[in-house]
Structure 1
Amino acid sequence: MAADSGPALERMPVDRLKRVGPRMLERLQRLRIRSVQDLLFHLPYRYQDRSRLHALRDLCDGDEALVEGVVADAQISQGRRRSLKVWLCDDGGSLMLRFFHFTTSQLESMGPGQCLRCFGEVRQGPQSLEMVHPEVQHRFDAGTVAVGQAMTPVYPSTEGMQQVTWRGLTDQALALLRRDPRTLHDWVPAQLLAPLHLPPLGEALVYLHRPPPEAPLEQLAERAHPAFLRLAFEEMLAHQLALRRLRRARRRLRAPPLNVRGDLRRQLLRGLPFGLTGAQQRVLDEIAADLGRSEPMMRLLQGDVGSGKTVVAALAALQAVEAGFQAAIMAPTELLSEQHLRNLSRWLAPLGVSVAWLSGRHKGAERRGILADIAGGDAAVVVGTHALFQDEVRFHRLGLAMIDEQHRFGVHQRLRLRGKGEQDGLTPHQLIMTATPIPRSLAMAVYADLDLSVIDELPPGRTPISTVAVPDTRRDEVIERVRTACAAGRQAYWVCTLVEESEALQAQAAEDTAAALRESLPELRVGLVHGRIKAADREPVMQAFAAGELDLLVATTVIEVGVDVPNASLMIIENPERLGLAQLHQLRGRVGRGTVQSYCLLLYHPPLGATARERLGILRKEVSGFAIADADLRLRGAGEVLGTRQAGMAQFRLADPLRDQALMQAAQQGADRMLEHWPEHVEPLIHRWLGEREECGQV
């Protein structure tokens, strides 16, 4: 049965639900929610306990609390950013409610004397504790909490979508499902479910969206409840089925075998001022063997920050060039591509190998000349950004396509680059590189159709970064540390982090920090980058920092994947307790690129819980990204560690391949049984979970 001939909820557009207009539909589509079925599979990622009221005087920074009180005052603040401030009071304390987005009716409903019940996260504001955009209730029985409120779902969201909206939409979808469970087809045969003791699909969805008051909160939070495992199993089954298709398709492709004597590689190695590490040599041998075969290489090169992936890429490119083919390397930013250009030109030009660079900045006659060199084969190695897969780019004979930091690109972009090299029935080899460490124990379970190479050894002579945890009560001392470092001619990063917030609030935090630091450090040149700034506008700021024209760069985690700035020797990371260890390690890797001692200060907000203390302790002690990734996996689980999407990695929405290993084995066996006994269920099950990703070869 085809996916588009399935039952009603699979075909019912989500805008058939009440209050879903064009604007909300656009927001839902950002999260790939197009049908009512998609909405039902958009599950809560946690649950809030609203079983008790908190007195305002007892609130602490970081609390997530249900409060009620009377409005003492409400006014619009016309500061640097317009906001509505509402002062809420009870018998013993007060709290500010702050709204950056509000309507006239909201202002009127929160006037002095109004009784409000609010739920949200408490934060320390400039003058007092406050809640930013709390959920507000106007009608309630003062001092009492309904039992049914104890387990409130919290959904992954996007800007403009409040939690009360999600609950209203899912109420409607669940009503349709309860009215007729047959409207959502269960494609998993009962024979596969019975041995696992898992509930039917509809029952599992209802339970997860609206758990009963007596539901085990801890089991739900750990995603270990049978209702959740039911959906995780179905997702893993869909991935296994898609993988079997992908492997069959790959076996049908052919690539040019790049068998050479290796003269160019030997010349480069003789000219390098350093020798390869054992890990680099092992990985290079794996790549060279792949390139010599007639089946296209699809290999992921994983290496810690500074492990020497670029020189391995250069040596792989020389194998293609010596065989009479071109090699291309694509990077996510102009700055990173320019860095690759400098390195490759320095290494390859003495060998007589031409290196071309194509980016968005090339215009007119200069661009036409570069395109002609690529199309004519005069450019043996081509370095570029997204510009490489634009329509007017034509390769003469592309044998090897390399992508750096693949997770910054969409899969369609990677496939378009590969497609540009398809000639005479041959497909170019692909090498995909990443500095994001994934534990070995996890990698083999979740990498889809890629062979894996790991550089797990750093070059000798690197000075380890000294990592120190500092409470934010010593913020003034940290600012002085920045002043001293920059006065000595060094540069520094200041990274602002927030979680579970919109990009707008993350940007606001970075902007506020930059303004405060400019005021405290007027003698320094301070730059700012965050996710709300367009990439084209971020790039000049990053380039200015790399060129030494800025002393201090204030940023969000958009700098996680960056370039070498050897002069940057100090990094401050605010609220490090809110990030995973692997991401903290990636950020820390922006310093320590030169020869001087570098420092990373973790500016945390006390008090720290036991887990947070353990995590920051691991980061202080460990320098290996792989050791850190293993610790991150142990502390947070596979689902969190895989937050950064990797090339060719099975991108699970719900399943955790490490936690759910028994289910993974059952899914592998179940996929074989489905293909044999229920082949008509395969396509709709894959489409439900992977949709367009499976169609374009990305599981």
Structure 2
Amino acid sequence: MIQTVPDHKPGDTEALDQIPVERLHRVGPRVAERLTRLGIHSVQDLLLHLPTRYQDRSRAVPLAELRVGQEALVEAEIGEAGIALGRRRSLKVWLTDGGLGALMLRFFHFGSQQVSALRPGVRLSCYGEVRQGPRGLEMVHPEYRIQGAGQEGLEPGLTPVYPATEGLNQASLRGLTEQALALLETRAPAECLPASVLDPLGLPTLSEALRYLHRPPPEATLEALVERRHPSFQRLAFEELVAHQASLRQLRETQGTQVAPPLAGDGALRARLRARLPFSLTPAQERVVGEIAADLALPRPMHRLLQGDVGAGKTVVAALAALQAIECGHQAVLMAPTELLAEQHLRTLGGWLDELGITTLWLTGRHKGRERAELLARIASGEARLVVGTHALFQDEVRFAELGLVIIDEQHRFGVHQRMRLREKGGGEGALAHQLIMTATPIPRSLAMTMYADLDLSVIDALPPGRQAITTVAVPDARRDEVIERVREACAQGRQAYWVCTLIEESEVLECQAAEETARQLAERLSGLRVGLVHGRIRGAEREAVMAAFAAGELDLLVATTVIEVGVDVPNASLMIIENPERLGLAQLHQLRGRVGRGAVESHCLLLYRAPLSAVARERLGILRATNSGFEIAERDLALRGAGEVLGTRQTGAVQFRIADPLRDQQLLPAAQQAADQVLSAHRGLFEPLVRRWLGDRVDYGRA
């Protein structure tokens, strides 16, 4: 029977999502605050906080069969016990089970009662991780129970292990979940999916699924639970996918009622730009330009995602879209996640549009005082027809005369609420600006269907003629001298090279220091070569000067941090060295190496790794060596790292899943999409509780 605080006992009619966790036994303000860190506010949240794995206690392992790194249940007798003095006082307990094996239990925190209870001849049931100790195998602070004297051993079966936080251990979480499961017996959570959806799928009810996952029966298969392919996991994943799809479909409905200025344009500015370009657009670019132009001509906001591999030519497509808005007397704005990328866009777009007599300016956080005030005035007056900037564009003081088009580059680096604020600055008279979202991180179709179901999708799926395939090889750090000589040879042939520094530690300061030291060492080793340095802590003007010098061929080697991942175009650069590639994602590595191979000469990327590599790191670098296709790399990256890592969904306001995984559960997507349609058409009353259960206070993300 569940224990609750007597004067706060939940009523029998209260829904689980209406019972705060503070009403559970032993949940005071401090525990409640720790639960909040895990996103747990109600009993329903607690039930939806599922185990990440399970400890297999279904079979006791003989001591002779134990292996280092194994988590195991053992049942054995204490042969010897005592307190050891030394650098750190500890209680040592030696176990024997009559076989050839032996195991020591070590406790650093213990009391007198524990010392007297753990004496020779006492039989223990204990569970923990096997480690290699100085004198053999040991477990440190295992979970244990004394057998006999009316007590049983540790409960057999599969024991859940939950995502935890500091100050909230597994025992506490299991105890709280036990109380939540007792409440589940008296009131089932509301079913937010109609029977007509669930019955054909043969999935369990929500209550059945929750009970099974928190307390698997003895016959449960560990593999199905760990891989989250058991029908109980699928039941919850399916409902979460339906919630997201329904929310995105409602957004589609809302977008259909929104108003935007129709921007057909007369094509004059676009024709003049095309006449000045030193290249022709590829068929893939022409197709995408047509899709965007048709959207802009409509009196409802465009919401289009433009995907294109590194170097596919998205910038010229964005320029033509901006000119279509400018032809109609409207302004366009392009937002980039970093000042470096914003500078690159300003140089490229400004160079094209200046020739057409169109004023382009940029706004970032570096602009202060009078200069900033003048820029804001030029934007507000409409003099600036195209504005390029960073997060500074979100600020309330930035006002446009008549904003018609918002272009967002590398959108996954922004929170969704940020781009909402920018879009709402446009249109005038209650109208919204059109929105074009660009990414050079190809998104697998299965993921795009789930994460961006509210957006129309355009894909530039071919590279411009002349782009060279990049040969990629992995080289251990022990061959660093050979790599440095490779740089010397390339530069001696009139080529240029990048040397990218990354660190194991996540620290921009340390990373910049490492880049500075690397630049110094390379300048000494490669005397006669002109070496430049770029990192995030160099002032913008100085960084711009270094980048301009490299682009002009005045530098042979550019040492940099990952700030050059996007926005640098130097056709003469044919060699890139990336240090510590094992710490970067595949997509980021692909972006970095895309800085070479932009000219007519064969290009190379050397991945200078630190041995030994883990199996996963070896596989990831192998994928990069095997293909230059960003779309194939994205699929493999998704499989290795998951949707959250690939899309950067840790951003505030971005789409996040609690249980579902778009890759693992992609077979559920068609049914989830049909179910979302049914909920919205025939069971509208279920929509709000469904979305509230799974998205909570993130419901508004869909309005972006």
TM-score by length of 1: 0.76
Residue 38 of structure 1: which of 22, 40, 45 is its match?
45
How far did residue 219 of structure 1 move? 1.3
Give 1:569's aligned amino acid. Answer: M
Cα deviation 1:541-578 (Å, max 9, x = unaligned): 596777379965567xxx696442756721134436xx
Q: Aligned AA for 1:177?
A: L
Greater Cα offset, 206-215 or 450-459: 206-215
Change (3 A) 1:619 1:354: same
- Is the CA contact (8 Å cut-off) linking 1:345 and 1:355 kept in structure 2? yes
Give 1:644's match in structure 2, choosing from 643, 648, 668.
648
CA distance in 2, matches of 1:54, 1:366: 76
Find out whether 1:10 has 2:17 as its counterpart. Answer: yes
**1:302 to partner: Cα distance:** 0.7
Instruction: Name the CA distance, whole Å, in 2 between partners of 1:247 and 1:520.
Output: 51
Say if 1:168 and 1:667 are closer, same or farther in 2 by CA, change over 3 A: same
SS of the residue 1:383 aligns to = strand
State whether structure 2 residue 338 is matched by structure 1 residue 336: no
Query: How far 1:419 sits from its partner (Å)?
Result: 0.8
Distance 1:94 1:225, change over 3 A: closer
Would you say the 8 A contact 1:57–1:93 is kept in 2? no
1:539 matches 2:541: no
Give the equivalent residue in structure 2 for 1:244.
249
428 and 524 in structure 1: CA distance in 2 versus 1, 3 angstrom threshold? same
- Other structure's SS at 1:697 match: helix
Shift of 1:317: 0.7
Question: Are residues 570 and 428 of structure 1, via their aligned partners in 2, closer, same or farther at CA, if it must alter by over 3 Å?
Answer: same
- Of 362, 376, 379 in structure 2, the residue corresponding to residue 357 of structure 1 is 362
1:312 Cα deviation from its structure 2 partner: 1.3
Deviates more, 1:460-469 or 1:595-604: 595-604
User: Could you tell which deviates more after superposition, 177-186 or 341-350?
Assistant: 177-186
The 2-side partners of 1:545 and 1:53 are apart by 61
1:11 CA drift (Å): 2.5
Question: Which residue number in structure 2 is paired with residue 314 of structure 1?
Answer: 319
| Aligned counterpart in structure 2 of residue 293 of structure 1, from 294, 298, 306 | 298
What is the aligned partner in structure 1 of residue 521 from structure 2? Answer: 523
- Residues 30/479 of structure 1: CA separation in 2 closer, same or farther (3 Å cut): farther
| Aligned-partner Cα distance in 1 for 2:498–2:254 | 50
Shift of residue 306 of structure 1? 2.0
In the alignment, which residue of structure 1 is the partner of 2:479? 477
Distance 1:176 1:38, change over 3 A: closer
Contact 2:128 2:140 in 1 (8 A): yes
1:425 and 2:430 aligned: yes
Among candidates 354, 361, 377, match of residue 372 of structure 1: 377
Query: Is 2:607 the counterpart of 1:601?
Result: yes
Distance 2:15 2:609 in 1: 52
- Please show how residues 198-347 of structure 1 align to structure 2 within 5 Å: 198-212=203-217, 214-347=219-352
Q: 3-state SS of the aligned residue for 1:668? A: helix
Query: Which residue number in structure 1 is paired with residue 135 of structure 2?
Result: none
- Any idea what SS the aligned residue of 2:166 has? coil
Question: C-alpha distance in 2, partners of 1:602/1:138?
Answer: 43
Cα distance change on mapping 1:389 and 1:512 into 2, 3 Å? closer
Deviation at 1:193, TM superposition (A): 2.3
Match 1:493 to one of 500, 511, 524: 500
SS in 1 for 2:702: coil
Q: Deviations over 1:583-640 (max 9, x none)?
A: 553454466567773313163765865x87665433212101112234456x559757
Does residue 176 of structure 2 align to residue 169 of structure 1? no
Question: Which whole-Å CA distance do the structure 1 matches of 2:181 and 2:267 have between them?
Answer: 63
Deviation at 1:373, TM superposition (A): 0.5
Moved more, 426-435 or 169-178: 169-178
Structure 1 residues 647-696: Cα deviation after superposition (integer angstroms, max 9, x where no partner)? 99975433345654553333334334444554322211111112333334
Residues 55 and 93 in structure 1, CA contact (< 8 A), matched pair in contact too: yes
Amino acid at match of 2:422: L
Q: Which moved more, 1:437-446 or 1:452-461?
A: 437-446
Computed over aligned residues only, the root mean square deviation of the Cα atoms, in angstroms, reads 5.0
Paired residue total:
635
* Alpha-carbon contact 2:302-2:436 (below 8 Å) kept: yes
Contact 1:328–1:382 (Cα < 8 Å) also in 2: yes
Aligned to 1:411: 416
Q: Assess, with a 3 A threshold, how the Cα gap between structure 1 residues 407 and 442 changes in structure 2: closer, same or farther.
A: closer
Alignment check: 8 A CA contact 2:270 2:323 kept = yes
Instruction: Measure the CA separation in 2 of the matches of 1:263 and 1:600.
Output: 46
Kindly provide the amino acid, as one letter, of the partner of residue 539 in structure 1.
Answer: G
CA distance in 2, matches of 1:141, 1:513: 52
2:330 maps to amino acid: F
- 2:216 corresponds to which letter in structure 1? P
Aligned partners of 2:535, 2:613: CA distance in 1, in Å?
Answer: 35
When structure 1 is superposed on structure 2, of 384-393 and 19-28 the one drifting more is 19-28
Structure 2 portions without partners, runs of 5+:
1-12, 75-80, 119-125, 133-137, 525-533, 548-554
Show CA shifts across 1:209-265 (max 9, x none). 343454212212322101001101211222233233212211111111111221211
Given the alignment of the two structures, is residue 179 of structure 1 paired with residue 183 of structure 2, yes or no?
yes
Partner of 1:564: 568
Q: CA deviation at 1:320?
A: 0.7
The residue that corresponds to 1:575 in the other structure is 582
Return the offset for 1:269. Answer: 1.9
Greater shift after overlay, 646-655 or 624-633?
A: 646-655
Measure, in 2, the Cα distance between the counterparts of 1:374 and 1:223: 52
Distance 1:46 1:479 in 2: 45
Which SS does the other structure have where 1:282 is aligned? helix
Q: CA deviation at 1:270?
A: 2.1
- Secondary structure of residue in 1 paired with 2:408: strand
In structure 2, what residue type is equivalent to 1:179?
A: L
CA contact (8 A) 1:573 1:600 kept: no
Q: Aligned match of 1:189 in 190, 194, 197?
A: 194
TM-score by length of 2: 0.75
Q: Which amino acid aligns with 1:540?
A: R
Provide the C-alpha distance between the structure 2 equivalents of 1:291 and 1:654, rounded to a whole number of angstroms.
37
Shift of 1:429: 0.5
1:602–1:690 CA distance, 2 compared to 1 (3 A): farther
Change (3 A) 1:584 1:54: farther
Name the structure 2 match of 1:617.
622
Tell me the CA shift for residue 173 of structure 1: 3.4
Q: 1:380 to 1:75 in 2, by over 3 A?
A: farther
Q: Which amino acid aligns with 2:483?
A: R
1:689 aligns with 2:694: yes
Q: What is the identity, as a one-letter code, of the residue corresponding to 2:456?
A: D
The worse-fitting range, judged by mean Cα deviation, of 639-648 and 281-290 is 639-648
8 A contact 2:301–2:433 mirrored in 1: yes
Structure 2 counterparts to residues 114-129 of structure 1, below 5 A? none
